[in-house]
């Protein structure tokens, strides 16, 4: 079984982002970039399926500028077999990414697509669902546990009332939550081996996908600073503050 794993290059989760002075977006100059943490979990899950003998090949795909090659190499060093790099210079919206992935799925014919539930830069949480809609495949989102057989994938997901278990016929799309697993660190030998693994390059134009933006960001700004808390002497005082300042 072939597994396809989309990955995204984002600002490292340890970096505090800065908004440009003109409010046109986030300043990415000299900022450390890395693989989206949710996508790392997706890569790890695909590798575990392969180690269990349930997957035969792992293909990672990413859409972005030439620097995105580094993100693909990271996934290859973790254990993926080959990569596909769709070159795009500017931001690509979730719908365009989903259309690109749908074309690649048509070419690669995987039985399972595993993707992070959202990217930490835009937090859209849309690409996996849009991809399933375009492919007309069953989907399971926010997976905290997953197992796959020859014809089905079983996913446990957290819901408000507890846990929900879904059994999907393959092919299917699964989006990963943080609790699914803990990604491994790539060893030095695997990092060296990853340099020799193939990464095919293509473009949205070659795939017949229009990535022109459909959304316009009018302004980007930092959230207002939170005011400090205060101690109260009694429940009655707390209730009075809630009435006066919250309007309850």
Cα separation values, 23 from 19, 51, 222, Å: 6, 47, 9
The stretch 81-101 carries a mean pLDDT of 93
Nearest to 10 by CA among 116, 141, 100, 95: 116
Q: What φ, ψ does residue 183 adopt, rounded to 5°?
A: -60, 145
| Structural domains of the chain, ranges and CATH numbers in brackets | 2-215 (3.40.50.620)
The answer to whether the predicted template modeling score (pTM) of the entire model surpasses 0.75 is yes
Q: What is the pLDDT of residues 95-118, one digit of tens each?
A: 999 999 999 999 999 999 999 999
Q: What is the pLDDT of residues 215-232, one digit of tens each?
A: 888 888 888 888 778 888
């Amino acid at each position: 079984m072939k597994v396809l794993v989309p990955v995204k290059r984002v600002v490292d989760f340890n970096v505090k982002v800065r908004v440009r002075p003109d409010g046109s977006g986030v300043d990415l100059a000299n900022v450390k970039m890395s693989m989206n943490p949710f996508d790392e979990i997706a890569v790890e899950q695909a590798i575990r399926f392969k180690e269990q003998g349930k997957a035969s090949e792992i293909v990672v795909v990413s859409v972005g500028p030439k620097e995105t090659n580094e993100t693909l190499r990271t996934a290859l060093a973790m254990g993926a077999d080959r990569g596909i790099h769709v070159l795009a210079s500017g931001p690509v919206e979730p719908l365009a990414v989903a259309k690109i992935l749908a074309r690649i799925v048509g070419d690669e014919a995987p039985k399972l697509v595993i993707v992070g539930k959202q990217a930490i830069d835009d937090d859209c949480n849309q690409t996996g669902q849009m991809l399933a809609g375009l492919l007309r495949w069953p989907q399971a989102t926010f997976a905290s546990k997953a197992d796959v057989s020859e014809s089905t994938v079983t996913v446990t997901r957290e819901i408000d009332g507890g846990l929900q278990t879904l059994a999907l016929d393959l092919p299917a799309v699964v989006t990963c939550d943080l609790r699914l697993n803990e990604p491994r660190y790539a060893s030095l030998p695997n990092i060296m081996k990853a340099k020799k693994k193939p990464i095919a390059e293509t473009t949205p134009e070659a795939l017949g996908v229009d990535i022109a933006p459909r959304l316009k960001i009018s302004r980007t700004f930092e959230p207002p600073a939170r005011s400090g808390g205060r101690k109260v002497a009694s429940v009655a005082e707390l209730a009075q503050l809630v009435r006066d300042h919250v309007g309850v």
